[in-house]
Structure 1
Amino acid sequence: MKADNDYQKLLQMAKQLDLAQQLRLIEELALSIRRQAEVSPRRSILELQGVGQEIWKEIDVTKHVEEERASWDG
């Protein structure tokens, strides 16, 4: 909730700026975000390999798929 309140306060403050200041603020925020994105390492979908495998450990996958398909017909 604090983040929402902070966001609303910042938004109200930004609306009080004149147009040139608002545009400058947007440009500086965009630049800051781009810099953060460049520094952040890219992620790979392969990092998720094996995540959640314990959930399926005791489940017969073939039976599960058959039950799911049967439920589609109502």
Structure 2
Amino acid sequence: MIQILYQHILVQVKQLNVLEQLRLLEAIAQLVQRETVSKPPRSIRELRGLGKEVWKNLDAQEYVNQERDSWE
């Protein structure tokens, strides 16, 4: 049913001149844009504390020293 409706609309759109098609395209784009739910921007602060359990029992300086030693 939807495919038939789509084809019917497409046939009608093809009968419009280019300017009318562009106006229709703009109207459809505005309609879709209003329907699109935009998510609020995320903050880098939301990452605070993420993964802290990984470092719970590690000494930071010892870790850095081990990493530096592995470079040689």
* Amino acid in the other structure paired with 1:9: H
Which has the greater radius of gyration? 2
* Structure with higher helix content: 1
- Quote the residue 1:37 is aligned against: 36
Ranges of 4+ aligned residues in structure 1 off by more than 3 Å: none
- For residue 16 of structure 2, give the secondary structure of its aligned residue in structure 1: coil
Distance 1:5 1:17 in 2: 19
Measured after TM superposition, the shift of residue 5 of structure 1 is 0.2
User: Aligned residue for 1:28?
Assistant: 27
Extract unaligned runs of 5+ from structure 1: 43-74
Distance 1:35 1:16 in 2: 27
**Percentage of matched positions with identical amino acids:** 35
Task: State the Cα RMSD in Å.
Answer: 1.9
Residue 41 of structure 1: CA displacement? 7.3
| Matched pairs, number | 40
Corresponding residue number in structure 2 for 1:14: 13
Aligned to 1:59: none
Output one character per residue of 1:7-63: Cα deviation in whole Å (capped at 9) or x when no partner. Answer: 00000000000000000000000000000003x779xxxxxxxxxxxxxxxxxxxxx
